[in-house]
Amino acid sequence: MMKLTQLVAALVAGLGFGAASAATTPDYYNMLNGNTGSYEYWDQTYSGAGCLTCSNAALTGGKGDLTDGVIATTNWFVAEAPAGNGPYVGWTLDPTITFHWNSATAISSVTFYFDDANGAGGVSSPTGVVVDGTGFAIADPAGSAPFSFTASGLSFNGTDLVVTLNRGNQWVFLSEVEFNNTAAIPEPGTYALMLAGLGAMAAVARRRQAR
């Protein structure tokens, strides 16, 4: 039988002290490739199937610019010049992206990293995103710098998270998408109750041993 000290240790470990938020990365994402403009705003490092140098080609089963950890810090006309193989994927349609996990995954928030550019070259912040069927409006930030938007309060738990970006201009430019799950951490009062319960169990166990 498990000793009481081991039981307490196991319970404390199971509660996950300090683990308030967990990032998760999808196993792959499916979408239509970006477009050609002054340069080529494709997802050229994409690891799956599809034409990496064709505008709006179906890309399936891989990962690339959107989940490589590289977040653009300058506008498209700086980050993409002159080759167009930079950190962004840029579209002249409202892209729908399906992010896939091989096993069911809980997600409570999704953060998008967009360019703003205030209309330079037809690139502006999007008017909103739809995440797992829920619409989120995005206000055009003051200034023209790249920015992030977090869709929070989600209760997704599954393998395929569908996202649609709604353009505010001719183009939408996206460089990264991050996924997080904020675990439900018991409040301190819960711990106190549990410890009191364990204390009572220990007292009972001691009494039984004494008999």
The residues in 1-60 that bind Ca ion, with binding defined as CB under 5 A, are none
Report the residue from 118, 164, 166, 180 that binds Ca ion according to the rule CB under 5 A.
118
Neighbours of 3 (CB within 10 A): 9
Rank residues 116 and 131 by Cβ distance to Ca ion and give the closer one.
116
Max CA separation in the chain (angstroms): 86
Element (H, E) at 188: helix 188-210
Q: How far is the CB of 80 from Ca ion (least distance, A)?
A: 7
Rank residues 132 and 140 by Cβ distance to Ca ion and give the closer one.
140
Helices vs strands, H then E, count in the chain:
3, 9
Helix, strand or coil, per DSSP, at residue 140: coil
Stated length of the chain:
211
Q: Is 140 an interacting residue with respect to Ca ion (CB under 5 A)?
A: yes
Report the residue from 26, 65, 97, 99 that binds Ca ion according to the rule CB under 5 A.
65
Q: Beta strand pairing status for 89-91 and 28-32?
A: unpaired
Q: Is 70 an interacting residue with respect to Ca ion (CB under 5 A)?
A: yes
CB burial of residue 114 (10 Å; 0-12, 13-18, 19+): buried
Q: Total residues contacting Ca ion (rule CB under 5 A)?
A: 9
Q: Which two tokens stand for residue 106?
A: 């809980």
Pair 56, 40: CB distance under 8 Å: no
- Using the contact rule CB under 5 A, the part of the chain among 48-56, 96-104, 133-141, 203-211 near Ca ion is 133-141
Q: Is 116 an interacting residue with respect to Ca ion (CB under 5 A)?
A: yes
Q: How far is the CB of 147 from Ca ion (least distance, A)?
A: 8
Q: How far is the CB of 171 from Ca ion (least distance, A)?
A: 13
Q: Is 111 an interacting residue with respect to Ca ion (CB under 5 A)?
A: no
Pair 81, 39: CB distance under 8 Å: yes
Rank residues 7 and 109 by Cβ distance to Ca ion and give the closer one.
109
Residues of the shown chain interacting with Ca ion in the complex, contacts defined by CB under 5 A: 65, 68, 70, 116, 118, 140-141, 175-176
